[in-house]
Structure 1
């Protein structure tokens, strides 16, 4: 369904890498701004950091779908000749 909506594995991988950077940035930013200190900054950084594995898993699933879909298309094209 995601692939049919235009989402590709590269998009999910990019979102994963961006979320890693966002986790680090949010941790640093929260640590400086947050009056509750390091504990709150750690929780915020971990919360955002947990997005990365989800995006990478979606990227792997989409890559498998793209790979299988590509082979199905090739076998259909080969059989038509």
Structure 2
């Protein structure tokens, strides 16, 4: 799978940038959900955690793609 992604043009830097962006998106979604959600803070926390789980996935993909770039 990593080889196919590399051949399609995806680079480690793209994955690292997506990981950093997902950290920011998790924070923003938590803040917005906290203010706009009528179901309370527990649901806002779940939104932040859900999006925050993307960051390690993107970083791991970036590390894997780095092996194809060397």
Larger Rg: 1
Count of residue correspondences = 67
Note if 1:30 corresponds to 2:33: yes
Distance in 2 separating the partners of 1:23 and 1:14: 14
Note if 1:57 corresponds to 2:60: yes
- Greater length-normalized contact order (CA 8 Å, ≥ 6 residues apart): 2
Unaligned runs of 5+ in 2: none
Task: Please list the CA deviations of residues 30-52 of structure 1 after superposition, one character each: whole Å capped at 9, or x if unmatched.
Answer: 00000011100000000000000
Q: CA RMSD in A?
A: 0.4
> Runs of at least 4 residues of structure 1 off by over 6 A?
none
